[in-house]
Structure 1
């Protein structure tokens, strides 16, 4: 009897299409849960540098997650549903990390456990997968590895710079918690190519809630109202140099929008799903760029941190209320001010202030996108609640009422303080 001979394959056949889809789906779920946690912690992180750099990290993570999700759908595993299934222990593990005892601990768990574990998993995947058959995945995972490496470096350098100023008991609490989370990650089996171990995550003893009161570091002038015209109609918004300052201070104070964006991403992620998370991640990142724009301009004009007012009144106005009003607040202020930006762009051009013109020009483009986000997702929330999705006037009215109530609560001491801060800033440039 003649033996039949066949040509042999090689290492490229290690993982079939469905094997690949299973692993990429797992990575997507981990990234998604990580993004939600980073967003939810933004209001509680006091450090200005991290409050404005973590948004870029979570947006880059969202870009990776979106590519992972699309790739899984392309591979048709096993249908177009991305159910959690046996990967639930990994999602639960990430959610347990939301319950960090303090901001230092949360940044540590991101820089020392979650992001390194994902980077390692991506590298392992690229080492054994097929660059020909799975070429599209290769490209974006290589980018993801570079981004994770940069994220870890930024976080670790920052932690090293501030750890000496953190109360020792808080550092010890963070260190102990990190060791616990490391042990649980090992019990789960890490973020590898194999399915996780089917265990319950012990630390899930509560539900994380974003901070209703935003944490702010002491290096800036911590106020509720960041410019006199907010609480004193007699103080002009200003023209010329005063308009330049007012615009930069406004951009700098969009910290409230970063915090609000993080709050709503976390709060509505489960209800609205991935498309919302992806849009909200971009929204948060854009707001952080606006903050950096204003801060950079103010620093370039010679201001020190302790001369700059950092307010909270818009964020404060939604405290204790349904998160729909935080979503409405972000949408309302985006749409309310967008029409004024074209005039300001022209004013800055006449002043030959190319920097302010540039920043306002890009801001205008961003806000146009954000108005679309606001309409889309506020309408969807209303629809989910059985209300008219095309009528959000009652949400807008309530947002106006909430802000007005906070403004009306201003004290004479607060008015005098912000006037003193603003007049000092104006005088400094006049001299």
Structure 2
């Protein structure tokens, strides 16, 4: 007698373990892109991208975290996330950090890796089970929306910046992008199937190479820029306000306080760059939970920077009138990255109390925007203080030091900033005083 069974449907294509393998691959790709994006922030000169990329990497971290947690659910009770057969793919993403310039790096995001991830997500959603794997559907649909927007934003900026760049810079970016794209295509892209073993196609000295065996291959070291690249539309200086180097210059009251606060917010650009450097530098040492918190830290600092920028623009200032300083970031040059982490923690905890006073001051001036920005800034800084304690302690513990003793870190941070301030020349002091006085005079002229 022939046995008869009811037919299965397309919904049964991917079983639980198959799904976990795919989501693990996507998590690993997102994670490495977050690390790359953070490491490149100091080296990107374009102000708009320097403050947009933090949001992008935070979104990528949120997607990566959702993927990671879903993998753990599907593999319960195992919490092991091995690279395994995806090593060649992950190596390529790491190697792409070695881009010869910012245009090249951003171009690989916009034309290689993010489109490949977008296609992977779209393909997954078209084939996976929306019932059995329903939890994945929510965050992956959001990831599709975000990837489409990210690609548009980066390509739009690239189009503008390519027009300003020299031919040699554009050519380098194009060659690098094409090489990364060819390499990714050779291994089958970022897909639902295991990457194919690809022969080594890297050009000599290009930094793009891989292991056909799928084992980890040697990767040249990428190091975030120690001297931050800056947008020449602004007035780029070391010290962004006279009181950085001249204690007798008043912080100011009334509109001068509004102005000084906005310039201070704008100059949290150093914290954006520093937080990116910190995320990259400690990613391997402190692991995913750190990366996830640090991504939010980078994003928050970029929001604070944009707060000041938008207020200054609303008051009629052009970019050329605005000073962007580097002295705090500069002070950590050549230092162990733990002092960059300490510097973020030190300044967060040092200044948080002043923000409550500023909120009251702006309320009394009926400046709702400055009050609003400082209010949200204060909330962010309370979170950052927790980040600082948690991860500075973790870093100290990893190094065999007392995780609860920040004395040496704080002393070094104070010392290196003080030494940097002491190097201010008479010309620099005159320059920033003139910039500040022109800004003050401009406000007075329209009152």
TM-score tier by shorter-chain length is over 0.9
Question: Quick one: distance in 2 between partners of 1:260 and 1:370?
Answer: 14
Partner of 2:162 in structure 1?
A: 163
Question: Quick one: distance in 2 between partners of 1:199 and 1:396?
Answer: 49
Residues 213-243 of structure 1, C-alpha deviations (whole Å, 9 max, x = no match): 0000111111100000110011011111111
* 8 Å Cα contact 1:225/1:313 also seen in 2: yes
Question: Quick one: distance in 2 between partners of 1:12 and 1:135?
Answer: 12
TM alignment of 1:193-232, pairs within 5 A: 193-199=192-198, 202=202, 203-204=208-209, 206-232=220-246
TM alignment of 1:16-415, pairs within 5 A: 16-76=15-75, 79-199=78-198, 202=202, 203-204=208-209, 206-415=220-429
* 8 Å Cα contact 1:21/1:77 also seen in 2: no
Decide which moves more: 40-49 or 73-82.
Answer: 73-82
Decide which moves more: 176-185 or 191-200.
Answer: 191-200
Offset at residue 77 of structure 1 (A): 6.1
SS of match in other structure, 2:55? helix
Residues 271-297 of structure 1, C-alpha deviations (whole Å, 9 max, x = no match): 111000000000000000000000000
- For the aligned residue pairs, the C-alpha RMSD in angstroms reads 1.0
Question: Quick one: distance in 1 between partners of 2:442 and 2:2?
Answer: 93
Question: Quick one: distance in 1 between partners of 2:135 and 2:420?
Answer: 51
SS of match in other structure, 2:232? coil
Offset at residue 78 of structure 1 (A): 7.7
SS of match in other structure, 2:301? helix
Offset at residue 7 of structure 1 (A): 1.6
Decide which moves more: 6-15 or 270-279.
Answer: 6-15
Offset at residue 4 of structure 1 (A): 2.0
Question: Quick one: distance in 1 between partners of 2:12 and 2:231?
Answer: 54
Question: Quick one: distance in 2 between partners of 1:27 and 1:121?
Answer: 8
Question: Quick one: distance in 2 between partners of 1:45 and 1:377?
Answer: 26
Offset at residue 164 of structure 1 (A): 1.4
Aligned residues, how many? 430
Question: Quick one: distance in 2 between partners of 1:194 and 1:408?
Answer: 58
Residues 20-46 of structure 1, C-alpha deviations (whole Å, 9 max, x = no match): 000000000000000100000000000
Question: Quick one: distance in 1 between partners of 2:358 and 2:140?
Answer: 41
Question: Quick one: distance in 1 between partners of 2:177 and 2:50?
Answer: 21
The verdict on how the C-alpha distance between 1:351 and 1:200 changes in structure 2, with shifts beyond 3 A counting, is: farther
- Residues 1:425 and 2:439 aligned together: yes
* 8 Å Cα contact 1:222/1:311 also seen in 2: yes
* 8 Å Cα contact 1:265/1:281 also seen in 2: yes
Question: Quick one: distance in 1 between partners of 2:189 and 2:80?
Answer: 24
Which structure 2 segments of 5+ residues have no match?
203-207, 210-218
| TM-score of the aligned structures, taking structure 2 as reference length | 0.95
* 8 Å Cα contact 1:66/1:278 also seen in 2: yes
Question: Quick one: distance in 2 between partners of 1:29 and 1:14?
Answer: 23
* 8 Å Cα contact 1:90/1:188 also seen in 2: yes
Decide which moves more: 176-185 or 271-280.
Answer: 176-185
Question: Quick one: distance in 1 between partners of 2:74 and 2:114?
Answer: 26
Offset at residue 322 of structure 1 (A): 0.4
Question: Quick one: distance in 1 between partners of 2:311 and 2:171?
Answer: 38
Question: Quick one: distance in 2 between partners of 1:267 and 1:280?
Answer: 11
SS of match in other structure, 2:98? coil
Offset at residue 3 of structure 1 (A): 2.1
Question: Quick one: distance in 2 between partners of 1:355 and 1:78?
Answer: 49
Which structure 1 segments of 5+ residues have no match?
none
* 8 Å Cα contact 1:62/1:278 also seen in 2: yes
Partner of 2:213 in structure 1?
A: none
